[in-house]
Amino acid sequence: MTTNRQRTLIIHDASKQLSISLRSMVVQLSLSYGSIIKLLVITEAFTEKHRFQAKRCGLVLKSKTHSSATINKHKADIKEEIYKTLVRYSTSLEFKEMLVAADMLQVEFGITVEAGMLKEVAVEYAKSYQATHVVLGRNTRPWYRQKMNFTYAELQIATNGFCSQNLMSDHGSKTYLGLLNDQRKILIRETPSVTMGEEDYQREVRMLEGVRHSNVALLIGSCSEGPNRFLVYEYICNGSLNTHLSDGNKKMTWEIRINIAYGAAKGLAYLHEEGIYGSMRPSNILVTHDFQPMLSYYGFMNEYETLGERSAMKTYEHLAPEYDETGKEVSKADVFAFGMVLLELITGRKTIEDTDGQSYLRWARPLLRQKKYTELTDPTLKDSPDVYQLYWLVRMADKCLSLDPNSRYSINKVVKALSDVINRCGVEEFSPTESEL
CB 18 within 8 A of CB 95: yes
What's residue 52's pLDDT?
37
CB 283 within 8 A of CB 171: yes
What's residue 307's pLDDT?
41
What's residue 209's pLDDT?
84
Instruction: Provide the residue type at 322 as one letter.
Output: E
Half-sphere exposure of 208 (CA within 13 A, CB side): 30
pTM, two decimal places = 0.65
CB neighbour class for 340 (10 Å; exposed up to 12, middle 13-18, buried from 19):
buried
Q: What Cα–Cα distance (Å) separates residue 283 from each residue in 49, 173, 261, 434?
A: 36, 12, 14, 39
Which one, of 339, 340, 347, lies nearest residue 410 by Cα?
Answer: 339
CB 22 within 8 A of CB 29: no
Sign of CA dihedral 277, 278, 282, 286: negative
CB 409 within 8 A of CB 399: yes
Instruction: Provide the residue type at 88 as one letter.
Output: R
Residue 398's contacts (CB-CB under 8 Å, 6 or more residues apart) are 339, 365, 368, 369
For Cα atoms 417, 419, 424, give the angle at the middle one, nearest 5 degrees. Answer: 95
Strand 293-295 and strand 228-234: pairing? unpaired
Which one, of 386, 383, 366, lies nearest residue 375 by Cα?
Answer: 366
What's residue 187's pLDDT?
93
What's residue 369's pLDDT?
85
What's residue 5's pLDDT?
81
Q: Which 3 state secondary structure label does DSSP give 245?
A: helix
Which one, of 47, 51, 50, lies nearest residue 116 by Cα?
Answer: 47
Q: Which domains does the chain have, with CATH numbers?
A: 7-139 (3.40.50), 148-234 (3.30.200.20), 241-430 (1.10.510.10)
What's residue 400's pLDDT?
92
Residues in the chain, overall count:
437
Which one, of 366, 419, 353, lies nearest residue 392 by Cα?
Answer: 419
Instruction: Provide the residue type at 204 as one letter.
Output: E
pLDDT along the chain (437 residues), means of 10: 73 77 73 89 62 41 54 81 90 81 87 89 91 73 63 94 89 85 88 75 86 88 90 89 80 88 93 86 88 85 43 48 58 91 90 83 88 84 80 90 89 90 69 45
Half-sphere exposure of 42 (CA within 13 A, CB side): 20
- Cβ of 26: how many Cβ atoms within 10 Å? 20
What's residue 60's pLDDT?
42
- Cβ of 106: how many Cβ atoms within 10 Å? 12
